[in-house]
Amino acid sequence: MARNKAQVKKKGSAKLVLTKDMHGISRQKISPKALSIIERLQSAHYKAYLVGGCIRDLLAGKTPKDFDISTNATPEQVRRVFDNSRIIGRRFKIVHVVCGKEIFEVTTFRGDSNSPKAQNLRVSSNSGMLVRDNVYGKDISEDASRRDFTINAIYYDSHNETILDFHGGLYDLNEGVIDIIGDPETRYLEDPVRIIRALRFSTKLGFKLSKRTSDPIAKLAHNLREVSNARMFEEVNKLFLTGHGAQSFDILRHFHIFEILFPTLEKFKENQTFIDFVHYALSSSDKRYTQDKHNTPHFLYAVLLWSYFQSLVYKMQTYNECSINPLSLREIACNAFARVIKEQSVMTAIPMLFTENIRSLWMKQFVLLNITDKDTVEKLCRTTMFRAAYDFLKLRSHFEPDLALYVDFWMPYYEESARQAKLLRNESKNKFKHKKEARISKKEKNRQNSNPASEGFKKEQKSEVNDRLAKARAWRAAMNLEP
């Protein structure tokens, strides 16, 4: 993209068109399924373009992981074109087209939500946040004006292989700038999540925020509390689990948003041990991501909320010593866990599957300190969360030196558990391979059995047999041999 810098040096609102020889995007880099979806929409007499992050990656010479499509077809019309699709969302309806294991997001052109026709389709809260905004447009320029940042308002027309830019996104892409479209305060009030998205794109791409984009953040960040906790859970995952978690932690603290996302951790925001622990853990997760290893939400939340959980356990233990009916350590830990999750769920709704994993991970931190009971040791090694619990213990040991003894004790068990898990994975792969080969063999056999030529041969054979039998019966009758 750098070689085209001279072509996009002027930033403005006028449409800029780059032809194939100017942008250099190869169709080989574009998902054939995404192109097929666009072609089917066009065959149904709709307009359709690739848009957003996939264009950024293509211009940078990368292969995108996701391909988003923008069209003038309404969600209901898209649904009628594709049987393998579903409409999701209430705030703004979109369509997921499912192709095997891949999901393609198809959005309808956004329209001018301030027009008189849009009054019944646009609902805002008292703060100005859009609660529902199913206002559709018919023109691509309308849609571009409703997108959040200039670098996300670049379109690719697969029909003539041109790039369309309406808000200087190509210029900002070259300059490494995140710039919001429209009036920043209005756009942040409409959807406070745009604040999170601005910070996420900044860390993910290594871009700087334009002054007009960053200036209102401190003033309006409190509106994030109005966003649904389910949506915030997804946004936090995108911040911390996709390879730029450590940088996200830094920029959230810089803009004082981390304590909004995690209100129970406000008292730890200046605690250097806490900061170093979280930063170290997130850096490790970022490294895993670059190695194509999976990062999980339950481990992320276990790390972020551990310090608060520890402080609650310590406080409850202090009160417990003076209690008439003292609780066990496990009961105290369970009570502390329930309180942590309840308080955090106000901001981010953590699904039950993940909360159970967090609970298991934290409870095992106490069990891992019991290395004298042989039965406990053997039992713990066979649990599914053992290796994750050990990883967490090892992570803590970098900041709690007293844990080094326990890390060394459990290491051989961890290595054996990892070896057994690998054997099970290989065994499972082999079983899957054999089943797949058996299915292919069965299909091949069925194909051969249903071969038209083979069927014709069988019919021909049957016809010859019947002919011979008929001749034999006639001969027997002529010779008076029939009974």
Q: Helices 245-254 and 229-240, interaxial angle, to 10°?
A: 120
Least confident of 115-129, 217-231, 372-386, 447-461: 447-461
| Beta-strand relationship, 68-71 and 48-51 | antiparallel
Which pLDDT belongs to residue 446?
Answer: 64
- Average pLDDT across the chain, whole number: 87
Work out the pLDDT band at 9, boundaries 50, 70, 90.
very low
Q: Are 302 and 392 in contact (CB under 8 A)?
A: yes
Work out the pLDDT band at 462, boundaries 50, 70, 90.
low
DSSP letter string, 357-376: HHHHHHHHHHHTT--S-HHH
Residues 1-14: b if buried by 16+ CB within 10 A, e if exposed: beebeeebeebeee
Interval 117-136 mean pLDDT: 63
Catalytic residue set: 66, 68, 148
**Which residues is 106 bridged to in the sheet?**
69, 95
Q: How far apart are CA 135 and CA 190, in angstroms?
A: 14
Q: How far apart are CA 345 and CA 149, in angstroms?
A: 29
Sign of CA dihedral 366, 370, 374, 378: positive
Nearest to 41 by CA among 82, 95, 76: 82
Q: Is the pLDDT of residue 183 over 60?
A: yes
**The tokens 């906790």 sit on which residue?**
229
Q: How far apart are CA 196 and CA 251, in angstroms?
A: 10
Q: How far apart are CA 166 and CA 163, in angstroms?
A: 10
- At 25 the three-state DSSP class reads coil
Tokens of 275: 């900061």
**The tokens 């925001």 sit on which residue?**
269
What would the pLDDT profile of 306-364 be if each residue is shown by its tens digit? Answer: 999 999 999 999 988 888 888 999 999 999 999 999 999 999 999 999 999 999 999 99
Which pLDDT belongs to residue 112?
Answer: 72
| Cα distances (angstroms) measured from residue 444 to each of 4, 82, 108 | 52, 30, 43
**Residue ranges per domain, the chain?**
2-175, 303-430, 455-483
Least confident of 60-64, 258-262, 442-446: 442-446
Work out the pLDDT band at 440, boundaries 50, 70, 90.
low
Which pLDDT belongs to residue 339?
Answer: 97
**Topology alike, domains 2-175 and 303-430:** no
Q: Is the pLDDT of residue 8 over 60?
A: no
Which pLDDT belongs to residue 457?
Answer: 44
Where would I find the beta strands (DSSP E) of 170-320? 177-178, 208-209
| Cα distances (angstroms) measured from residue 460 to each of 11, 347, 367, 381, 451 | 76, 75, 76, 67, 14
How many C-alpha atoms does 385 have within 13 Å on its Cβ side?
20
Q: Is 157 exposed, middle or buried (0-12, 13-18, 19+ CB in 10 A)?
A: middle
Q: Is the pLDDT of residue 120 over 70?
A: no
Q: Is the pLDDT of residue 458 over 80?
A: no
What is the share, in percent, of the chain residues with pLDDT greater than 90? 66
- At 85 the three-state DSSP class reads strand
Write down the CATH superfamily of domain 303-430. Answer: cca-adding enzyme, domain 2 (1.10.3090.10)
More confident residue, 375 or 115: 375
> How far, rounded to the nearest angstrom, does the alpha carbon of residue 191 sit from its chain's CA centroid?
20
What would the pLDDT profile of 22-40 be if each residue is shown by its tens digit? Answer: 998 988 899 999 999 999 9
Which pLDDT belongs to residue 427?
Answer: 76
What would the pLDDT profile of 258-291 be if each residue is shown by its tens digit? Answer: 999 999 999 999 999 999 999 999 999 999 999 9
Interval 429-444 mean pLDDT: 64
Q: Is the pLDDT of residue 303 over 50?
A: yes
| Beta-strand relationship, 102-108 and 68-71 | parallel
Would you say domain 2-175 falls under CATH 3.40.710.10? Answer: no
Q: In terms of DSSP H, where are the helices of 18-168?
A: 20-23, 32-43, 53-59, 75-81, 140-146
Q: Is the pLDDT of residue 163 over 50?
A: yes
Which pLDDT belongs to residue 352?
Answer: 95
Q: How far apart are CA 210 and CA 254, in angstroms?
A: 16
Which pLDDT belongs to residue 423?
Answer: 86
Q: How far apart are CA 364 and CA 380, in angstroms?
A: 8
Interval 180-203 mean pLDDT: 95
DSSP letter string, 52-109: THHHHHHHTT---S--EEEESS-HHHHHHH-TTEEEE-SSS-EEEEEETTEEEEEEEP
Q: Are 341 and 360 in contact (CB under 8 A)?
A: no
Q: Is the pLDDT of residue 459 over 60?
A: no
Work out the pLDDT band at 422, boundaries 50, 70, 90.
confident
